[in-house]
Structure formats: C-alpha cells, structure tokens
C-alpha cells in the first residue's frame, strides 16, 4: 500500500520519501514504485518525460530522521497496532512542528493512535484502497482531537493526488471495510462449509451480484493476514460475535498462505 501511495503522490508532482524496515525491503519498494510509474507510461496515461520527472521526486530512507522536512507523513506499515504506535511515537519526535501524520490503517481507531502524538490534533486517518493507483476512493477519518486545519489539508491532499475523499467517523473498520471485510469473511465460511468451491463462490458474486472481483480473490489481493487483522479489530472493538473471523481464514494465515503476496491463497498466482 505504501508503494501505491508513493506512486500516486510522485505522479502528482509531490516530493516523496519512501521508508521501510530494511534496505532490502526499501529497495524492493522503490523498484515497485518506479515500475508502477513505467506502467502508467505503457498505458498511455502519462508521457515518458513526465514519468522521468516524477521518478526524480522519489527518495528512499530507512531512517525516520529524513522526514524532518516533510509536511505530511503517511504511515502504511503492517496492520498491527503495536507497530503503528511505535512508528507514530518515533515520527512525532522527528517531524517539524506543524507537520501532519496520517495512518492508512484499515481498522484501528484513529483517536487511539493519535494519543501517541504530542499534539493529537495533527493526526488523521487517510485510508486508501488497493491497488492505490487504480482505486479512486480515500476515506478520511477524524479522531476526536483532529483539528479542522488537519482535516482540510488532508482532504485537499487526497484531491491533489487524484482521489475522491469521503469523510467517515472514527469507528472500527470505518465505513467501507465494516461492510466489505465481513462479506469476505462470510465467503470464507461458505468455502469452509463446502457449499461451493473458491472459483464458484467468486464467479457467483461476480455474475450474481455484479462484483468486479470475487470475495476470495479480493481477500488474496488484500492479503489474508491483513483481512484477519481487520476482522480481529472488528470482533474485539465491537465485542460482537457476528464479526468472528472464519477459522479457515486463521488457518490459511497460520500456514503462510497470505494470497498474492506469497503466491498462494484461495487461488494460486
């Protein structure tokens, strides 16, 4: 997700620093962003001159110290609340006064994450969709302390990078994933109960509900680990059994079958 967000930001003329946990993963990430920009050229969406100038606005760093000059940092690390809290605390120490910090979390409370900042008013949720260069939506989620200035600057940024923002109240899973991820989880229950095969379930929802992608193929795209993490947040934070993750989803994650990113999920890649 971080690569996709970086790609749409550089393509809009913004200076971007991409970060990751190690030099190797950062290198892979930078390659992915450059490849994404090249793809836009081959699709005829941007000229090769624009692609060159966009690529020149992209840097990589494995230390947060390089974020000192940034106006905004968008956190898009693994969907794990402890990792996110640690990153936000570290970023808060290095960014300039007045810089905004956003999280691309799919489910975690923005109000809770904001408490890791010295000034929670500068924190907001900016939830992009996968694949970022293709999907137009961004959910903008205000925490209880998010200021109007932070909200307005984030709405403006979403528009600047070519997205359509919608404003959603802070609540587990926000709006779209509250609807989408339990639907995917139910499709996994249907598979687990042997009601139909994975290709049939996906074909059923494509042909019968006019979904562009079937729910199991979509889970593979999102990542089964991320899907499980979102269901766990919904289950825990609403304290409602209707959000219990399907045991088969947990088993797939335990087996390391995480979808497209590992080559195997409900389908093979």
Strands 100-103, 72-75: pairing is parallel
Q: Binding string to ligand NAD for residues 126 to 155, with x set by CB under 6 A, is what?
A: -xxxx-------------------------
- Contact status, residue 113 vs residue 84, Cβ threshold 8 Å: yes
Strands 58-61, 137-142: pairing is unpaired
Q: Is 34 a catalytic residue?
A: no
Of residues 67-86, those binding ligand NAD (CB under 6 A): 76-79, 83
Residue 188, class by beta-carbon neighbours within 10 Å (0-12 exposed, 13-18 middle, 19+ buried)?
buried
Measured CA to CA, the distance from residue 38 to residue 30 in angstroms comes to 12
Q: Is 267 a catalytic residue?
A: no
Report, in Å, the least distance between residue 238 CB and ligand NAD.
Answer: 17
Q: Is 106 a catalytic residue?
A: yes
* Per-residue buried b or exposed e for 31-67, using 16+ beta carbons within 10 Å of the residue's own CB: ebbbebbeebbeeeebeeeebeebeebbebeeebeeb
Report, in Å, the least distance between residue 20 CB and ligand NAD.
Answer: 5
- Contact status, residue 131 vs residue 123, Cβ threshold 8 Å: no
Q: Is 232 a catalytic residue?
A: no
Report, in Å, the least distance between residue 261 CB and ligand NAD.
Answer: 6
- Is 25 a binding residue for ligand NAD by CB under 6 A? The answer is yes
Return the range that interacts with ligand NAD (CB under 6 A); candidates 101-109, 139-147, 184-192, 238-246: 101-109
Report, in Å, the least distance between residue 18 CB and ligand NAD.
Answer: 10
Catalytic positions are 106, 127, 139, 177
Which residues are at the interface with ligand NAD (CB under 6 A)?
A: 1-2, 19-21, 25, 76-79, 83, 87, 104-106, 127-130, 222-223, 226, 261
């Amino acid at each position: 997700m971080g690569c996709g967000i970086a790609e749409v930001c550089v393509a809009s003329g913004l200076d971007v620093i991409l970060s990751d946990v190690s030099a190797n993963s950062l290198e892979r990430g930078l390659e992915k962003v450059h490849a994404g920009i090249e793809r836009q050229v081959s699709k005829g969406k941007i000229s090769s001159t624009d692609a060159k100038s966009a690529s020149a606005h992209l840097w990589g760093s494995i230390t947060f110290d390089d974020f000192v000059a940034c106006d905004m940092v968008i956190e898009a690390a693994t969907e794990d609340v402890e990792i996110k809290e640690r990153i936000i605390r570290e970023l808060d120490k290095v960014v300039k006064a007045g810089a905004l910090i956003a999280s691309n979390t799919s489910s975690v409370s923005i109000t809770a994450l904001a408490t890791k900042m010295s000034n929670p008013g500068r924190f907001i949720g900016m939830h992009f969709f996968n694949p970022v260069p293709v999907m137009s939506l961004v959910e903008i989620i205000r925490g209880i302390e998010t200021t109007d200035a932070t909200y307005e600057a984030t709405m403006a940024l979403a528009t600047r990078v070519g997205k359509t923002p919608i404003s959603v109240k802070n609540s587990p899973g926000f709006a779209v994933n509250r609807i989408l991820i339990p639907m995917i989880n139910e499709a996994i229950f249907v598979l687990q109960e042997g009601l139909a095969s994975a290709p049939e379930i996906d074909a059923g929802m494509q042909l019968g509900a006019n979904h562009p992608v079937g729910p199991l193929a979509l889970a593979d795209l999102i990542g089964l680990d991320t899907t499980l993490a979102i269901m766990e947040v919904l289950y825990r934070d609403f304290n409602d059994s209707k959000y219990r993750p399907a045991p088969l989803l947990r088993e797939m994650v335990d087996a390391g079958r995480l979808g497209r990113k590992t080559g195997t999920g409900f389908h093979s890649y």
